[in-house]
Chain A
Amino acid sequence: MERYILPDIPNLHKIDAYEQHGGYSALKKALGMNPAEVTDEVKKSNLRGRGGACFPTGLKWTFMPKDNAKPKYLCVNGDESEPGTFKDRQIFEFNPHQLIEGTLIGCYAMGITSAYIYIRGEYGKWIKMLQKAVDDAYAKGYIGQNILGSNFSTNIYLHKGAGAYICGEESSLMESLEGNRGYPRVKPPFPAQRGVWNCPTTINNVETMTNVPLIINNGWEWYSKIGVAKHPGPILVGISGHVNKPGVYEVATGELLTDLIYNYAGGVPGNKKIKAVIPGGSSTMILRGEQIEGVRMDADSLKAAGSSVGTAGMIVMDEDTDLIRVISRISKFYYHESCGQCTPCREGTGWLWKILKRFEAGEGRIQDIDLLVDIANNIEGNTICALGDAAAWPVQSMVKRFRDEFEKRAKKDAVAAA
């Protein structure tokens, strides 16, 4: 497939090269349309968010109030901290102007005059790369006052995070942007009603915004025909773990997971069998190796398989993998990143990790297996934000699909007694 998010064009990160290859033509086109038309185009394209929840982007944009005296804001989410996810970084490095262009078009469509691109603090080097691109775009009149001679003016600012996974959650991100600790907010009100600085706000992922110029340039019909109709477009899939060629691959949605692993990522070292696959970042439900046959990288297919697309950060594990260690490590992560506001999440993530450490050490009891599920079920759906769910799903799915691994690792006498 032709690549649209990370095309193979040398020096595309430089503004001249980007312009030579049609860059900023979508912005010009959008400025000649009325804002509602732009939103409509995105809506019809069926673009769905690439930040984890696959929410329809155009629909989200329509939630922004039209006649409201308050300023409106766009937050572009580049926190990218879900384990297994490393795609947005590629955009900052190799195609920053397309992200900027998409951000500008979004601002125009929603009547926004300030956009903040929130980037995790660890990406200091990539923040500088994107800042250079932003500066160049200002210098050429694509950002700032009266963009390309129109009545439309907007600013784009980068905001550097400081090491907190939770700040990728949209309401936590807004708190962080306001200069606070990143405590997620209770919803409703939703960001479009009351977002950052109590003003209407839209939050979209970096990759989501980078898709927008494609839709405006080529039209919604063209875009909606790439990949799977209900979840179309190019998608960046990060493949890591036990594969010969780990990396970020751009494909059309609906690519077979097996093709991604064997054709793109070069298969498993030593031709080992695949024991398990986490398809979309550490919070998505783990699949058994034999379960991925025929499953595709799109929302419906992965849902039917009992998981989800998430961030399309796929982690492959070969037959020799110690899955108890994997789930223990994942649980440690969510425990470490819980902000502590809700009791089920704060306490539950700690319990999960503690019990899993016991299994790791061969000290788990057979009844602990159900206890794990019990705790996870009590976290899921009972918290302010979805970090609680993100902590519960991997444990629930690991027990469901690899119960045998837990039984094998339980204390020997406990197994005998049961």
Chain B
Amino acid sequence: MLTEENLKKAEELKKRYPETKAALLPILWIAQEQEGYISEDMMKYLGTMLNLPFAHILGVVSFYTMYHDKPLGRYHLEVCTNVSCMLRGSDKILQTIEHVCGVKPGQTSADGKWTVNEVECMGACGGAPMIAIGEEYYENLTPEKTEELLKKLSQR
């Protein structure tokens, strides 16, 4: 269920488009920000709200890599391994992260702190190698800088 405040936001979003269905992606973003992920119950709820079949919503959620149908760790580390990052040592960044966080790409650590994913080009090739954590980009990384960053986050 969306909070009252988010429901208002959703209503506002609908006005931006000539058809309600178009508000689905932005409303999924709101739902995900609220809950951390998009549960099946949420999909059903949004289906009723937007008058869309559950299958449509499930189809959309599964098509886009940034919508998650399961909770993630407290920090979601997205490591770019595409060409520009690869050429500048993204391997070592990924290794460092695997080592410090104790997980492989696609996994969440047992303490729920870290989720690590390998991702495609993030549009930061000039700052390669890079990782993203939430909306924050960390560019021009070295293994040392990565370790430092993870330590800092770990202490928070």
Binding site for B on A (CB under 8 A): 71, 80-86, 88-89, 120-125, 155, 157, 159-165, 176-182, 197, 238-242, 246-248, 278, 282, 313, 315, 317, 321, 325-326, 329-330, 333, 336-337
CB distance from A399 to the nearest CB of B (A): 17
Majority-rule SS of A interface residues: mixed
A81-B121, A246-B125 known; A162 vs B24 contact (CB < 8 Å): no
Other-chain contact of A125, B21, B60, B88, B137 (Cβ < 8 Å): B137
B66 in the interface, Cβ–Cβ < 8 Å? yes
CB <8 Å contact, A326 and B66? no
A125-B135, A162-B66, A181-B59 known; A81 vs B87 contact (CB < 8 Å): no
CB <8 Å contact, A157 and B66? no
0/1 string, B24-43, CB within 8 A of A gives 1: 11101100000000000000
CB <8 Å contact, B120 and A165? yes
CB <8 Å contact, A179 and B126? no
B18: which A residues are within 8 A, CB to CB? 71, 197
CB <8 Å contact, B121 and A84? yes
A162-B28, A240-B125 known; A330 vs B83 contact (CB < 8 Å): yes
CA of A160 to CA of B87, assembled, Å? 29
CA of A396 to CA of B137, assembled, Å? 34
A84-B84, A179-B60, A240-B84 known; A123 vs B123 contact (CB < 8 Å): yes
CB <8 Å contact, A317 and B121? no
CB distance from A328 to the nearest CB of B (A): 10
B128 in the interface, Cβ–Cβ < 8 Å? yes
For A242, the closest partner residue in chain B by CB is: B87
> Which residue of B63, B66, B128 has the most chain A CB atoms within 10 A of its CB atom?
B63
Other-chain contact of A159, B25, B60, B121 (Cβ < 8 Å): B25
For A241, the closest partner residue in chain B by CB is: B87
CB distance from A119 to the nearest CB of B (A): 10
> Which residue of B87, B127, B132, B137 has the most chain A CB atoms within 10 A of its CB atom?
B87
CB distance from B31 to the nearest CB of A (A): 12
CA of A248 to CA of B126, assembled, Å? 7
B82 in the interface, Cβ–Cβ < 8 Å? yes
Other-chain contact of A80, B86, B88, B123, B126 (Cβ < 8 Å): B123
For A181, the closest partner residue in chain B by CB is: B63
CB <8 Å contact, A120 and B123? yes
Tell me the B115-150 residues at the A interface (CB within 8 Å). Answer: 120-128, 132, 134-137
For B82, the closest partner residue in chain A by CB is: A83
For B26, the closest partner residue in chain A by CB is: A160
